[in-house]
Amino acid sequence: MITKTFKRHELKYFVTPDEYKKIIEELNKRMLPDSFCKNNGSYMIYNIYFDTANDDIIKHSLSKPYYREKLRMRSYAVPIGSKDMVFLELKKKINGIVAKRRAAMPLAQAMDFINRGIAPNLNSYLDNQVVQEITYFLSRYKVTPKVFISYRRVAYFDKSDHDFRVSFDSDILTRRTDVSLSAGDYGTELLDNDDILMEIKCCNSIPLWLCRILSEMGIRRTSFSKYGTEFKKYITAPRIYKTALGGI
C-alpha cells in the first residue's frame, strides 16, 4: 500500500557510482528493497511542480524560511488516459521537518482541480482532508504547471521500522516545455556529472551502522532540491538555453 501521509527528516547526500555500489552491498544485508523495485531493480517517478507566474513558491523556498511548501503532481507511470491515477501532493517543510500529504485521483480530476478549482469528492476520508488543504493552498496561489522532473529510484526500507528508508535517485531529467505527465519521459539532465542523489528518510535518528558507513566513506550531508536546482540553472542559463526550455 502506498503511504499517503509523511512526517520525517529527509537527509540528502551525493554519492559516486562506486560509492553507491558499496552502500547497496551493506543495505542488502540489513534492509529490504521497496516493493516497487522488482527483482532488485528500480522504478520511475514523474513529477509536475506548480508555481505562480512570478515563481513565488520556489523563490520563497530558496530563501530557506522556517516554513515552506510546494505543490506537485506525481505518477509512477506515464498516464495514458484521463482516468489514470495520479497523486496531488502538498509538501511542507517546517524547521527542517518534512510533512507530505497526498491524495490519489484520476488525472482529469487533478487537472480540473488545479486549472478550474473544481475540488474532487474522493472515496477516502484522508484523501478528502488533503483535498481541503490543497484547496486552501490554491486560494492563496494562482498556479500553473511550471516544471517537469523525472528520475529513476532505487529504495530500501528497514525490516523493523518502515519509517526508515534509504533511496537513490539517478537519471534526473527536467523540462519547461510540454509540461505534462502524459507527454512522457524526456528532458535535460539536471546534474552535470554521474553522481547519484541519496536520501535518508527517518522519523528519529540514523542507525549507528549507517552513520559508520558514511563516516568511513567520507560521505557528507548536503542541501539539495531538484526543483530549486532546476530553477537556479534556468534563471542563470544563457538565453539560448532558456529558449530551448521554453523560457524568454
Q: Can you list the pairs that 99-105 forms with residues at least 24 positions away whose Cβ atoms lie under 8 Å?
A: 99/6, 99/7, 100/5, 100/6, 100/7, 101/4, 101/5, 101/6, 101/129, 101/130, 101/133, 102/4, 102/5, 102/74, 102/130, 103/4, 103/127, 103/128, 103/130, 103/131, 103/134, 104/2, 104/4
State percent of the chain over pLDDT 70: 92
Banded model confidence at residue 240, pLDDT cuts 50, 70, 90: very low
3-state SS, residue 34: coil
Nearest to 161 by CA among 202, 209, 100, 212: 202
What's this model's pTM, rounded to 2 decimal places?
Answer: 0.91
Check if the beta carbon of residue 198 is closer than 8 Å to that of residue 14. Answer: yes
Q: Look at residue 175 and tell me whether its pLDDT is greater than 60.
A: yes
pLDDT for position 237: 78
Nearest to 70 by CA among 60, 79, 78: 60
Question: What does DSSP say about strands 97-106 and 85-94: parallel, antiparallel, or unpaired?
Answer: antiparallel
Nearest to 105 by CA among 125, 121, 94, 81: 121
Grid-cell match 516493493, residue found: 35
Q: What's the rounded Cα separation, in Å, for the pair 232 and 224?
A: 12
Report the amino acid identity of residue 121.
N
Q: Look at residue 155 and tell me whether its pLDDT is greater than 60.
A: yes
Q: What's the rounded Cα separation, in Å, for the pair 198 and 133?
A: 29
Q: Cα-flanking dihedrals φ and ψ of residue 111, to 5°?
A: -70, -35
Q: Cα-flanking dihedrals φ and ψ of residue 41, to 5°?
A: -95, -140
Question: What CATH code is assigned to 5-244?
Answer: 3.20.100.30
Question: What does DSSP say about strands 85-94 and 67-75: parallel, antiparallel, or unpaired?
Answer: antiparallel
Banded model confidence at residue 204, pLDDT cuts 50, 70, 90: confident
Better-scored residue on pLDDT, 131 or 36: 131
Assign residue 39 a region (left: φ > 0; alpha: ψ between -120 and 50; beta: otherwise): left
Q: Look at residue 248 and tell me whether its pLDDT is greater than 50.
A: no
Better-scored residue on pLDDT, 203 or 181: 181
pLDDT for position 160: 81
Q: What's the rounded Cα separation, in Å, for the pair 49 and 175?
A: 11
Average pLDDT in the chain: 91
Nearest to 46 by CA among 146, 177, 152, 130: 152
The CA–CA distances, whole Å, from 169 to 21, 46, 61 equal 13, 12, 21
